[in-house]
Amino acid sequence: MDPRLPPPTDVTLTPFTEPDFPVLCELAGTIWRQHYAGIISDAQINSMLAGRFMLGHIEGRARELDTRALWLQVNKRNTGAIGFYRSAGFEVVREAVFEIGDGFVMDDYVMAKWV
């Protein structure tokens, strides 16, 4: 679309519903594979699409249940997951460091997203 042209006035945006998600995921997969091939693997693309789909479903259900926030805990070294959660609107609210036995320690962030 030419940015110098006015936006179309005959466009109607309709919210997606759960039955639309498979088609949306297929379309997103096609677009991601065309633009991110060689940058990230096909498995990474599939994981991100599935993660976004599941998170969207959970957020919708949380709103239906009048839940105020989603909470999760993630290892501080898992930068990929932290980046994904941040891009989905989560923020770090505190650290969680505790022993889990046999000399192992969990060193995590607690993240939250208000819905």
pLDDT tens sequence for the chain (115 residues): 556 777 667 767 677 777 887 787 788 778 777 777 777 777 777 777 777 888 888 898 899 999 999 999 999 998 888 988 998 999 999 999 989 888 888 899 999 999 9
Q: Provide the whole-model pTM.
A: 0.61
Are 83 and 60 part of one and the same domain?
Answer: no
Structure tokens at 114: 């208000």
Number of separate domains in the chain: 2
Residue 111: its pLDDT value, please? 95
**Domain extent for 80:** 68-115
Residue 57 main-chain phi, psi, to 5 deg: -65, -45
Query: Which amino acid, residue 21?
Result: F
68: exposed, middle or buried (Cβ count in 10 Å: 0-12, 13-18, 19+): exposed
Residue 9 lies in a domain: no
> Which residue, among 45, 34, 29, has the nearest Cα to 80 in the 3D structure?
45
User: Three-state SS for 84?
Assistant: helix
Are 77 and 45 part of one and the same domain?
Answer: no
Are 51 and 30 part of one and the same domain?
Answer: yes
Residue 113: its pLDDT value, please? 95
* Chain centroid to CA 54: 8
Are 63 and 28 part of one and the same domain?
Answer: yes
Residue 33 lies in a domain: yes
Point out the domain boundary residue: 67, 82, 102.
67
Residue 2: its pLDDT value, please? 59
Residue 3: its pLDDT value, please? 61
Are 45 and 72 part of one and the same domain?
Answer: no
Residue 109: its pLDDT value, please? 95
Are 63 and 100 part of one and the same domain?
Answer: no
Are 35 and 48 part of one and the same domain?
Answer: yes
